[in-house]
Structure 1
Amino acid sequence: MISVTNLVRTYGDFTAVDDVTFTAEAGRVTGFLGPNGAGKSTTMRVMTGLTPATSGAALVLGKPYAALTNPGRHVGVLLDASAQHAGRTGREVLTLGAMTLGVPRGRVDQMLDVVGLTAKESERRLRNYSLGMRQRLGLAHALLGDPEVLILDEPANGLDPAGIRWMRDLLGTFAAEGGTVLLSSHLLHEIEKIADDIVVIGRGKIVAQGTKDELLRPSGALVRSADDRALAAALAEENLTFEQLPTGGLQVEAETGLVGAVAATHRIALVELRAGDSQGLEEMFLSLTSDDARKELAA
């Protein structure tokens, strides 16, 4: 489990992370989303002991990362797949990692097999690796100590569609076996497929969090009637918020039962009444972070 409480990180007058609080539970995949510069990477760096917090706390398995004994045996981290020694082979990187963590050398071959790097590929220098191969090696290194928690920043970068599906299955299995996964990615479609919980950050603040089903569930009601003008007047009389749709009908910020009751009271015949359409993760993300996106485009 990961617990972030009232976390603040400032750089001079700039506040990169502003009173951030959320948890990533064991047995679940938590998607950590936000535009560039929103504070995701800074938060993850504080979690993993690379950046000190100005105030607040980020605990992994109930402790600060630095307080864990041999932390790589408990927490697998992949923040930058390119931050590896270009002159070493993939096998050398994992072997040094195994020696540092105190795990059997046989774990190296197991992890190479898990991430799909062949024996021949493992003997190549990292300078000759594609980005996708570096990502696979980074995941192998994160899994090397058989951790309980994974903290991954953009692990799908450079992976082809088959590789992305492989990673999705790998992380899903890890969580299903009781592990905690915190996953940052710009691939919203993939986050929508794999995440159980979602945390959205914008300008250093949490702007939404909850289970995927809670955040993406349909909102309000869609209603069409024999007289939409009269229905709109009736809804306004009841102080209900609504929007007229270009294709006809109304989108109402209220439960279907209430909308139906208003129509019945005013003797307005309904042609259609149903729960509003569910928004996808991309639509939710863009609506929550639109100010940041405009700021980035203008910069």
Structure 2
Amino acid sequence: MITVQNLTKRYGDHVAVDDVSFVCKPGQVTGFLGPNGAGKSTTMRIIAGLTPATSGSATVGGVAYTDIPNPGTEVGVLLDASAQHAGRTGAEILTLSALTMGLPRRRVDEMLDLVSLSPKEAGRRVRNYSLGMRQRLGIANALIGDPRILILDEPANGLDPAGIHWMRSLLRDYANRGGTVLLSSHLLHEIEIIADEILVIGQGRIVTAGTKDSLLAGAGTRVRSLDDVALFDALRRADIRTQAVPDGGFTTDATPEEVGRAAAAAGVALIELRTGDGAQLEEMFLQLTADTQREQPTPQGAL
């Protein structure tokens, strides 16, 4: 289990992490979402004992990471796949980890096989690895000690679709066997697929947290008709705020009943009317972190 309580990190006047609290439970994948600079990586570095907190606490398995005698056998960490020694081979990096943790040499071959790095690839220097190969090596290094907890920052970067599917299956199986996973990603669709719990962070604070279903429930209504111009006018007259959807129709903050009554009063035939629990996580994420985004939506008609 990972437990974070009232965690704060300041760099001078800048507050990178602001009173953050959450729990990652065994048997679950916890997805950690937020724009660049929102505080995800800083939080994970504090949990992994690499950055001291200004205040608050972060524990893994009930103790601080720095107090674990042989941490690699308890907590697997991958924070930056590019931070591996470029002059060593993949096999050498895993061998050094195994020796440091007091593990048998066979774990190296087991991990190389697990992440599908061939003997030829394992014998190449890391400077010649693609980002996807470095990610696979980093995941192997995180798992070599057979830890109960995984902390992974953007592990899907550089992986092709087949690699992402492989990683998703690997982490799902790990959690199903009782492991605890904290996974950060900007790939919202991947988090939506794999995460049991979702944390959304913006400007250093947890904006919302919960299961995917609980976060998307009550997210409004998705509606579409054969005449979206007439539908827009009907909803506007009913004082229902709308947001256009690229493939047609609108999302609204109103209930399906309110939307349906407004459409019926205007004689607009609907071809889709459903609750927000079918909405995309990306839409919810952008709404919740709108104030922290560098890129603001382009006003209609501005192009």
TM over 0.5: yes
The answer to whether the 8 Å contact 2:222/2:249 transfers is no
| 1:1-299 mapped onto 2 (5 Å cutoff) | 1-217=1-217, 219-220=219-220, 242-243=240-241, 251=252, 253-254=254-255, 256=257, 259=258, 275-277=274-276, 278-294=278-294
1:46 Cα offset (Å) = 0.2
TM-score scaled by structure 2? Answer: 0.84
Secondary structure, counterpart of 2:289 in structure 1: helix
The answer to whether the 8 Å contact 2:126/2:134 transfers is yes
Name the amino acid aligned to 2:275. G
CA 1:296–1:112: 2 relative to 1, 3 Å: farther
CA 1:112–1:295: 2 relative to 1, 3 Å: same
Root-mean-square deviation over aligned CA pairs:
3.1
Structure 1 Cα separation of the partners of residues 243 and 111 of structure 2: 53
Structure 2 Cα separation of the partners of residues 249 and 94 of structure 1: 51
Structure 1 Cα separation of the partners of residues 212 and 35 of structure 2: 19
Structure 2 Cα separation of the partners of residues 108 and 244 of structure 1: 55
Deviations 1:253-288 (A, max 9, x none): 3474xx59x99xxx9999779542432111111111
Name the amino acid aligned to 2:186. H
Structure 2 Cα separation of the partners of residues 15 and 63 of structure 1: 25
Structure 2 Cα separation of the partners of residues 142 and 62 of structure 1: 20
Secondary structure, counterpart of 1:96 in structure 2: helix
1:245 Cα offset (Å) = 7.7
Identity of aligned residues (%): 60
Structure 1 Cα separation of the partners of residues 32 and 219 of structure 2: 23
Larger Rg: 1
Structure 2 Cα separation of the partners of residues 97 and 244 of structure 1: 54
Secondary structure, counterpart of 2:293 in structure 1: helix
The answer to whether the 8 Å contact 2:86/2:126 transfers is yes
CA 1:105–1:208: 2 relative to 1, 3 Å: same
Name the amino acid aligned to 1:37. G
Structure 2 Cα separation of the partners of residues 92 and 168 of structure 1: 26
TM-score scaled by structure 1? Answer: 0.85
Name the amino acid aligned to 2:241. E
The answer to whether the 8 Å contact 1:219/1:275 transfers is no
Deviations 1:180-221 (A, max 9, x none): 111111111111111111101111011111001111235345
The answer to whether the 8 Å contact 1:231/1:268 transfers is no
CA 1:103–1:244: 2 relative to 1, 3 Å: closer
The answer to whether the 8 Å contact 2:29/2:181 transfers is yes
Structure 1 Cα separation of the partners of residues 268 and 96 of structure 2: 70
Structure 2 Cα separation of the partners of residues 250 and 110 of structure 1: 49
